[in-house]
Structure 1
Amino acid sequence: MNLRTTILIMSGFGVISDSILIAFYPQFFETRYGVTSPVHVGAYIAAISIAVMCMLPVWARVARRIETMHLLLYTQGAAALFCLASIWAPSVESYWVLSLMMFMTKASYLLMFPYLMRLEEPQNHSLVIGLLSVVIHIGAIFGAAVGGMALEHYGPSFCIALMAAGDLAQMVLCLYLIRTGRVVKVLSREEKSGQAPVPRRSPQALSALLKLCLLMFLFDFSAYLVRPFFTLYWEARTGLHEPLLTGLVFAIPGIVALLALLLRHLVVQQPRWVDHTLFNLLLGALGLALQASESLELIIIGRCLYGWALYQVIVKLEVTLFKVSTPDAYARDFGVTNFFQNLGVLLSSFGAGFLVNLVGIPLTFVIAAAGLLLTAIIDRGWFGVDRRHAAQGELCHAN
């Protein structure tokens, strides 16, 4: 296996590990600890986001002195140990501590993305981002399906063991890359000694990055507001209490993302609307609104529209990041944008629990749809039309 393929597989294992319980934390906490509060579930998912958003910049700084793959070898091993230890956590408080330690250490695997992009030619960035996006979505599909089945038939402890297995798989692949000499060393002697100058950016590039961060924050807040309680909502709406089916419905956006990638490669000259940012944001808002319906068919159609929009907008925003950044600053700038993305997920996860208690799950979909509409308005108002990728260091619009 070459370096790109191995890193994509490692990313897949990381996503699968993260996805095993992400759709089932309400059922997990109720089954294992008897905790049924929606606010508690929202707070826990928010705490995961805090752990990742705070630690990724730290790991990015450490990676300026230690080669990325060598760093991941140890951090993913530590994450697996914390995960395994949480199997025997006797109380919900101890589970919080151990599992959050696991997420803090495993957050380093996100550095594989800027590491890989640094090694790729700029003309390949869109392809690699698309591939990585599909790997993430397929991992979410598989993780959600396996998580639902494992929780139903084998219980919470088995789910945690599967999460640890994903971290161990990443560690083994890191070792494989290091032992076979496939690792590309990107650190210069100055970087290793900690004396490499931090690349300076122009005011225009800084403005571009900050605008992109704010867009990512608002988009992630809106897109993931409904995630913590979708499985409960689906089962309550349909009366179908089958975790495997629920996991597959939860992962519909990933299936649609795979179809979108296939379309991107099979159709050379795609219609302009396919990756039109404004169109996709409006489509995503419609998809979210449809999921508030009582109709099973409309919920599924809404999941499909939401999945298409999610894939297209994420790819566009990530491509923009690597156009306004420079190779030496990829890890740093990725850490900055990831901070804002996780801040959006944090607030959406934490806010979801309160919103569900206050207005119910259906209206939460409507609020999320309104958030995407606001994102579309700001995106169009700030950045205009047809200029997002006009020049490096300048954030414009690609509509």
Structure 2
Amino acid sequence: MSSGVSPRRQRDLLIATTAVAVVTDATLIPFYPRLFAEAFGVADPQHVGIYLAATCLIVMLVLPLWARLERRFTTLQLLCVGQLGAGLLALASFSTTQLWMFWLCSLGMIVFKASYLLVYPYVMRIEPKARHADTIGLLAVIVHLGGILGATIGGWVLEHNDPRAAYLVMAAGDFLQMGVSIALVRRGARVPEVTLESESELESGLAPTTTVPTASSTPASTPAKIWGLGPLARLGVIMVVVYFSDYILRPFFVEYWSARTSLGSELIAGWIYAIPALASLLALAAQRVGWSRSWSLSTVLALVLLGVLLQAVPHPAAIIGGRLVFGWAAFRGIVDLDLALFEISPPERYAEDFSRMNLCQQGGALVAFWAAGAAVSAGGLTLPFFVAAGGFFIAMAIFAVFGGRFISAAPAGEVLDAGATVEVGA
């Protein structure tokens, strides 16, 4: 059956639904401590940390199952099921007043929302490799812009409504996405065959920034393994460290900000939380107008480390400045790491390798959320910043020693040409 939807149209619609998902799902991310305190009377930081760790564990366990189902059903069919289930359970999460039932419904919702992660490798299969850097950059912008809008909506909701009202926003987003997915399925949308000619037509669409090595048939002078690990495993190690260090800062940042300023409204706290997303958009704009330059990953991670330490200074100006530096540098680093996965992995294994890498990302976030609750209970609201700084220092040291070759390799038996690079940008 031929597709009734062009690849470009599919990509645009799926990216639009991704934007909806990011905005609606981000409404509660900065405010979970207040949700548990106001809706269920639970103020224990460790309870919040354990809940958020459980959400990551659910994604780790079920995403590989969604990826396996993709062998029997199309991605879009699975998305329809996932979006319906997530929407219904979001409504149930809003309705419940019992803590145990909230855990059951909201974690069940995460089971279905994990299917949304199939969109990422699906879109990458639609796009020729020459446009992968552009697409990754665009998705990163959507994630960060969605974080800004989601935090703003969440702050408004918490100021004027029961915190559980955020689940109504999520349900509306889920059902809207389901409508788009059903329309694509009914029109016969599918992944097209990508030819070498279609790849070459788009070679000029890359924007300059950091460079990472790619595969070729030239023999390599760099060993295929470092520490006895292959390229995907090494990238996974970095993902665990980086995601742990990033996510440990998130659960209690709003409480940290509120304790150090008289500007305690949820709306303002949501804006401060979203500053890294704004900084990411500024970084992308600088790339577009040519005000950016190439940076090594060790340099980028050093700037991330600086941003974390500035946020640990108990003064509003230092916190805001630190979040700006952190957001700008983290955007550069995450885009490069994401692109490295799709350079290592062949297209037919995108979904499988992406699910494996997501295990590493979610594993880092899982431990981070648990550690955040424990750290706040043991050492106060500042301690997570110093733990995060330690993690980013480890990642920076790895790249300072090994350089970009730590996450470089050739897929499917090919070897690395140390001189070949891809310009990583948006």
Do they superpose with TM above 0.5? yes
Distance 2:276 2:415 in 1: 31
Q: Is the 8 A contact 2:35 2:164 kept in 1?
A: no
1:379 to partner: Cα distance: 3.0
- Find the counterpart in structure 2 of residue 191 from structure 1: none
Distance 1:278 1:27, change over 3 A: same
Select 1:357's aligned residue among 371, 377, 389: 377
AA partner of residue 293 (structure 2):
P
- Which structure 2 residues correspond to residues 1-399 of structure 1 after superposition, within 5 A? 2-184=9-191, 204=224, 207-267=230-290, 270-273=292-295, 276-381=296-401, 383-385=402-404, 389=408, 391-392=410-411
1:342 to partner: Cα distance: 0.3
1:329 to partner: Cα distance: 0.4
Q: Is the 8 A contact 1:208 1:394 kept in 2?
A: no
Distance 1:161 1:48 in 2: 19
1:306 to partner: Cα distance: 0.8
Distance 1:388 1:42, change over 3 A: closer
> Secondary structure of the equivalent of 2:85?
helix
1:258 to partner: Cα distance: 1.1
CA deviation profile, 1:155-206 (whole Å, cap 9, x unmatched): 22321111111111211111222234444368xxxxxxxxxxxxxxxx9497
Distance 2:389 2:361 in 1: 18
Q: Is the 8 A contact 2:298 2:403 kept in 1?
A: no
- Find the counterpart in structure 2 of residue 195 from structure 1: none
Distance 1:209 1:385, change over 3 A: closer
Distance 1:356 1:297, change over 3 A: same
Q: Is the 8 A contact 1:216 1:341 kept in 2?
A: yes
CA deviation profile, 1:347-389 (whole Å, cap 9, x unmatched): 00011001011111212212211210111112333x3357855
Distance 1:394 1:31 in 2: 56
The more displaced of 325-334 and 370-379 is 370-379
> Secondary structure of the equivalent of 1:254?
helix
TM-score (normalizing by structure 1): 0.90
1:88 to partner: Cα distance: 1.9
Q: Is the 8 A contact 2:231 2:408 kept in 1?
A: no
AA partner of residue 294 (structure 2):
R
Distance 2:404 2:178 in 1: 44
Distance 2:239 2:400 in 1: 14
Q: Is the 8 A contact 1:67 1:185 kept in 2?
A: no
Structure 1 residues without counterparts, runs of 5 or longer: 187-202
Q: Is the 8 A contact 1:215 1:379 kept in 2?
A: no
Q: How many residues align?
A: 379
AA partner of residue 297 (structure 1):
A
Q: Is the 8 A contact 1:84 1:164 kept in 2?
A: yes
Runs of 4+ in 1 over 4 A off after TM superposition: 203-206, 385-399
CA deviation profile, 1:297-356 (whole Å, cap 9, x unmatched): 110010011101211111010100001101110000000000010000000001100101
Distance 2:380 2:150 in 1: 27
The more displaced of 98-107 and 235-244 is 235-244
> Secondary structure of the equivalent of 1:238?
coil
1:294 to partner: Cα distance: 1.6
Percent identity of equivalent pairs: 40
The more displaced of 168-177 and 228-237 is 168-177
AA partner of residue 360 (structure 2):
F
AA partner of residue 96 (structure 2):
A
> Secondary structure of the equivalent of 2:260?
helix
1:390 to partner: Cα distance: 7.0
> Secondary structure of the equivalent of 2:84?
helix
Structure 2 residues without counterparts, runs of 5 or longer: 1-7, 194-222
> Secondary structure of the equivalent of 1:217?
helix
1:154 to partner: Cα distance: 1.7
AA partner of residue 118 (structure 1):
R
TM-score (normalizing by structure 2): 0.85
Distance 1:155 1:90, change over 3 A: closer
Compare the two structures and name the one with the higher helix fraction.
Answer: 1
AA partner of residue 294 (structure 1):
P
Q: Is the 8 A contact 1:131 1:261 kept in 2?
A: no
> Secondary structure of the equivalent of 2:312?
coil
Distance 1:185 1:59, change over 3 A: farther
